[in-house]
Amino acid sequence: MGKTTAVSPLAPAQFPDLPVIDGVRFATVAAGVRYQKRTDVMLAELAPGSTIAGTFTKSATRAAPVLDCQAKIGGTSDAGAAILVNSGNANAFTGKGGVTAVQAITAAVADVCGIPQSRVFTSSTGVIGEPLPHDRITAVLSDLKTTLDANGIEAAARAIMTTDTFPKGAKAEVKIGSKTVSIAGIAKGSGMIAPDMATMLVYIFTDAEVSQPALQAMVSEYTDTTFNCITVDSDTSTSDSLIMAATGASGVNASESEAFKDALHELMLDLAHQVVKDGEGASKFVEIAITGAATNGDAKTHAMAIANSPLIKTAIAGQDPNWGRVVMAVGKSGAAADRDRLSIRFGDIEVAKDGWRSPNYSEEAAAAHMKGQNIVIGVDLGLGDGKATVWTCDLTHGYIDINADYRS
């Protein structure tokens, strides 16, 4: 999806120091799937009995590995498991050849790792519509297996990058009774970001014991308020996947732990925000907070209409407190709105109230907020209790540079 660029100005200072998750080991390699001289395949090996849950894109044209994962998620097994991911090629819209590639890779991983093929989950990310050269991946599996390392998660986060300008990781430690369990997650994604389920590629690991139904319920619930609440460009990928594995190696059961759920929710939100902060061409991180909508669904619709409006995203890039465009987006969204009850704020500055410019309006104060790197647009519909918050970035020349670049 285009050339790499300098690291996003919104990138964290450094990759976090992620904890080792007992029961998970990682290996990466440069297999030459498409890129040269960089790692592009990662293998995560999971201890026997790990429970696995996932959420996936709702795209009607979803890729072969997504369909394969969806068919496998939900079962339980005492066997080990593995996740294999390649970057450089999405194996999407590749017809029967795509299915053949997934079969070949999952069979080879099962063989090398000594696990059932039904416990091998794969993801592919990169260009759409090109046949995946799966032989390049199966050829490196034996070597990969020999380099598995419990400390390999940062390298894994790097191997799954495409147009990402920084690797994305987040962690949590949760005390349950007298013991502590850990969670570590990684993600990739910076363009084609407007998830309609899970988003992009996200892998989360914990040494807690969590039953498969409980784990699935957690990731499904929190996907809705994290990855499904971000957008870079309104374009939904064919390959979005989130997979979470609980190895149980700590011996601590977290299926019912509210502290664990809260920590997981926060970790997922952290990763989702990192994806937005690596949005193609992004120079500002933007929160859209809707309150007073007729329903939560209406609030989300308004929020996404604002977050995906090219006119608003370019105004933010231009540091222009152009609240008239926010009025426009609310109007076009299709969700309930009453022009004369609408109020809008930029940061803490009320710019519009009751259907007109705020009596306290200060162009200078609003403009000062827009000069910051973190922008907050608040909209109250004055209709009910519905609310939603979504996150996006601005639309800059950088996005055009990256995406108007010819693929070859």
Active site residues: 199
Please report, as residue ranges, which positions from 56 to 75 form the binding site for a second copy (by CB under 8 A).
Answer: 57, 59-62
Question: Nearest distance from residue 373's CB to a second copy, in Å?
Answer: 16
Residue whose CB is less far from a second copy, 237 or 257: 237
Position among 191, 248, 347, 386 found at the interface with a second copy (CB under 8 A): 191
Q: Are 338 and 382 in contact (CB under 8 A)?
A: yes
Instruction: Tell whether residue 382 is a contact of a second copy (CB under 8 A).
Output: no
In the complex, minimum distance from the CB of residue 76 to a second copy, in angstroms, rounded to a whole number: 30
Check residue 213 for interaction with a second copy (CB under 8 A): no
DSSP string, 185-219: EEEE-SSS---SSS-SEEEEEESSB--HHHHHHHH
Considering only residues 223 through 282, tell me which ones interact with a second copy, judged by CB under 8 A: 233-238
Q: Quick check: 92 binds a second copy (CB under 8 A)?
A: yes
Shorter beta-carbon distance to a second copy: residue 18 or 200? 200
Contact between 317 and a second copy (CB under 8 A)? yes
For 373-401, the DSSP string reads SEEEEEEE-SSSSEEEEEEEE---HHHHH
Q: Does 114 bind a second copy (CB under 8 A)?
A: no
308 sits near a second copy (criterion: CB under 8 A): yes
352 counts as binding a second copy under rule CB under 8 A: yes
Q: How far is the CB of 309 from a second copy (least distance, A)?
A: 5
The answer to whether the beta carbons of residues 139 and 104 sit under 8 Å apart is: no
First vs last Cα of the chain: how many Å apart?
10
Residue 294 binds a second copy (CB under 8 A): no
CB 267 within 8 A of CB 39: no
Query: Does residue number 324 form part of the binding site for a second copy (CB under 8 A)?
Result: yes
φ/ψ region of 284 (left if φ > 0, alpha if ψ in -120 to 50, else beta) reads beta
In the list 153, 159, 268, 315, the residue contacting a second copy (rule: CB under 8 A) is 315
Residue 315 CB, shortest distance to a second copy, in Å, is: 7
Nearest CB to a second copy, comparing residues 64 and 144 = 64
Pick 148 or 311: Cβ nearer a second copy: 311
Q: C-alpha distances in angstroms, 388 versus 248, 262, 339, 348, 369?
A: 34, 18, 19, 18, 22
Given the complex with a second copy, which of 218 and 315 has the nearer CB atom? 315
User: How buried is 329 (Cβ within 10 angstroms: 0-12 exposed, 13-18 middle, 19+ buried)?
Assistant: buried
Q: Give 121-138 as a 3 state SS string.
A: EEEEEEECCCCCCHHHHH
Among 135, 149, 173, 196, binds a second copy (CB under 8 A): 196
Nearest C-alpha neighbor of 28 from the set 164, 106, 145: 145
Query: CB burial class (10 A; 0-12, 13-18, 19+) of residue 156?
Result: buried
Q: Is 94 in the site for a second copy (CB under 8 A)?
A: yes
Least distance (Å) between residue 382 CB and a second copy: 13
Among 101, 194, 204, 254, binds a second copy (CB under 8 A): 194
Residue 221 phi, psi (nearest 5): -65, -45
